[in-house]
Amino acid sequence: MGPVRGYRKRRKIEKKVEQNATASEKEESVDWWDEFSKRINGVLPPSKGMDKFESVFKISRKTFNYICSLVKEDMMAKSGSYAFTNGKPMSLNDQVAVALRRLGSGESLLTIGDSFGLNHSTVSQVTWRFVEAMEERGLHHLRWPSTEQEMTETKSKFEKIRGLPNCCGAIDTTHIMMCLPAAEPASNVWLDQEKKHSMILQAIVDPDLRFQDIVTGWPGKMNDSSVLQSSNFFKLCEKGKRLNGKKMVLCEGSELREYIVGDSGYPLLPWLVTPYQGKELPDSKAEFNRRHFATRMVAQRALARLKEMWRIIQGVMWRPDKHRLPRIILVCCLLHNIVIDLEDEAQDDMPLSHHHDSGYHQQVCESVDKTASIQRDKLSLYLSGRLPP
């Protein structure tokens, strides 16, 4: 399977989750958790905190019910095909719970199987069915702003961070680590600059840490600039079909187009603003870099939150299927967005970090577009109050 790219179909996100589950389903869900938690606690010591729903799944019951409603049709297409080791068939809630635990904890198939009373092969099959269902039913949670109002709101939130006007997103990449056998013929393909086996995830993020566009599936040895240029987002921007909205007047005869921000690993482009390089910078450029850094931190925080919440992609994955892994990463991104879209209070308990790629050095791209350089200088002067009216 080739690299997974950000889904672009425009659909309105339904936030009234309660409409997706009838009262009887909710009541059944409550009874289900009582039984399910007893099964878990019969295996694990109480100190694990497995008696609380949020501690097991890192999401609220409301979000869990919504996810169940999304995948119900696909997951229950072969009702009764999966069962616990005691012979009891797995319900929809059982299957979703097992899949979310697998993605959220990163624990092995054997560990989860032992905890839930399942064969490890059943854990694997149920998780993959969930991934396929989420790909089909949840893609509308990953999209670029589709209306002028949505984009205006995004720009306003970005400007409130540190004053950067007309900014539409922040871009960054992270590495999903893999443990591959040295004897595997294709293992060197995945060997990155830090001598680790990894797969790249590139994400463009909004001010609420929501993923607007992603690209994944490429080997970790590709640099940030190459991954960007391989993306559909890059092609759309170069053709003038994205980041082509309202321009902002900086001063008479000078306009600022829509853009995203990225670190020095990316090329400076008319629609991608990167920081100034060098240590001895004039005050206006140094101040610009500080504002730029604070703004693009949303991308780092989003990727850190993604890996912290969906730990299957946080550590080193043991011999993953390279065709399935991009789809697992995509679904983790969808789940990340769903938690935000549903304003899930469980996320408030998650640590707010920006460390998502420890052990990797900052990349530097020397590519500079002259028009973009002039635009960045004007933006820097505008922010420092030195641009003439």
42 shares its domain with 72: yes
Q: pLDDT, tens digit, for every residue of 375-384?
A: 999 999 999 9
251: in domain: yes
Which pLDDT value is given to residue 251? 86
The residue with tokens 């690209």 is 215
Residue 42: the pLDDT is 59
Residue 337 lies in a domain: no
115 occurs within a structural domain: yes
Confidence at 28, pLDDT banded by 50, 70, 90? low
Q: How far apart are CA 127 and CA 146, in angstroms?
A: 31
pLDDT in tens, 272-331: 999 999 989 999 999 999 999 999 999 999 999 999 999 999 988 888 898 999 999 999
- Whether 37 is covered by a domain: the verdict is yes
Q: Is residue 218 domain-shared with residue 361, that is, in the same domain?
A: yes
Q: What are the strands, taking DSSP E only, across the chain? A: 4-5, 167-179, 197-205, 211-219, 248-251, 254-256, 259-261, 272-273, 316-318
Q: Is the pLDDT of residue 48 over 60?
A: no
Q: What is the mean pLDDT of residues 103-130?
A: 94
- Name the pTM for this structure: 0.90
Say if 332 falls within a structural domain.
no
Question: What pLDDT score was predicted for residue 29?
Answer: 56
**Domain limit, last residue, from 92, 118, 140:** 140
Closest residue by Cα to residue 158 from 98, 210, 123, 117 = 210
Does 341 map to a domain? Answer: no
Contact in structure between 34 and 169 (CB atoms under 8 Å):
no
Q: Residue 201: what residue type? A: L
- What DSSP string runs through 193-225? TTS-EEEEEEEEE-TTS-EEEEEEEEETTS-HH
pLDDT for position 24:
37
Instruction: Tell me, yes or no, whether 250 lies in a domain.
Output: yes
Identify any residues that bridge with 199 across adjacent strands, giving them in sequence order.
176, 219
Q: Is 79 left (phi over 0), alpha (psi -120 to 50) or beta?
A: beta
**Residue 62 included in any domain:** yes
Same-domain pairing of 194 and 179: yes
Give the chain's domain count.
Answer: 2
Whole domain around residue 150: which residue ranges?
144-320+349-383
Q: Which helix (H) or strand (E) holds 389?
A: none
Shortest CA distance to 266 belongs to which of 356, 124, 369? Answer: 369
Q: What's the DSSP call for residue 368?
A: B
278, two tokens: 């060098």
* Predicted local confidence at residue 41, as pLDDT: 61
What are the angstrom distances between the C-alpha of 1 and each of 4, 99, 321?
Answer: 8, 22, 10
Ordered DSSP codes for 243-292: S-S--EEEETTEEE--EEE--TTS-BBTTEE-PPPSSS--HHHHHHHHHH
Average pLDDT, the chain: 88
pLDDT digits (tens, 9 = 90+) for 144-202: 999 999 999 999 999 999 999 999 999 999 999 999 887 777 788 899 999 999 999 99
